[in-house]
Structure 1
Amino acid sequence: MTVTVAMLIKYENERKAEMLDQASDRAEVSRNAVAAMGGRLLHAFGTCGEYDMLFIYEMPDMATVAANMHLAEATGMARYHKVIPLFSNEDFVASQVKAGELRDSYKAVAQS
């Protein structure tokens, strides 16, 4: 079973300055790196504001997602990132059904 995630990345200022000197197709770089991990880049978008890029990946598992995240930071490319697990609508509805079935087994701290 694979997992689908969105990964938002803020690049280091030095890397962005290098991209001004020589443009870099980060989607292609990401596509190749993720393929080597057994994953697949589904979408890549440039963004403005807090993050510079949004990638949507299909990965073999969350450990592989974490490996990709570690590499982005360890190589000095990313200043920081955010990973958001994505669910199909069917899985999201199924999660609501499951939570409803388990509701009585969960108690907040204030409840006894």
Structure 2
Amino acid sequence: MQILVESLPELLGALGSTGLISAATWYISRRRHRTARSAEQRPTPSQGMGHRRIRTYTLLGTGGREGAPIRVMSTRTAGAVLLWPTGGRQERFELTDCLLSDGTYAAEPVDGFEKVS
């Protein structure tokens, strides 16, 4: 019985430090989870926070120097029509949400040209 009475302070110290470590670990993981969850719930710029993201669009059916496709950067949303000069006219392109394999978005040609004044 003497051994148990003598080792009781060490046992209580070990249990206390284990409890403190467990509580600190729980608190840190809870803060991380709460921060990640609140980041998921924040609206993204494309959801209308007032900010627009810059996207790079590839104008389909066009070619620049050496046949490379023409790429345009824009903050306009999908569905907007972009005018691009080709020769003496401007060709219309509709911006889409279609992501191409090179990481740019597609801008599809719309039938019809407009004369450049």
Same fold judged by TM-score > 0.5? no
User: Bigger radius of gyration, 1 or 2?
Assistant: 2
The alignment's TM-score, normalised by the length of structure 1, stands at: 0.24
Relative to its length, the structure with more helix (as a share) is 1
The alignment's TM-score, normalised by the length of structure 2, stands at: 0.23
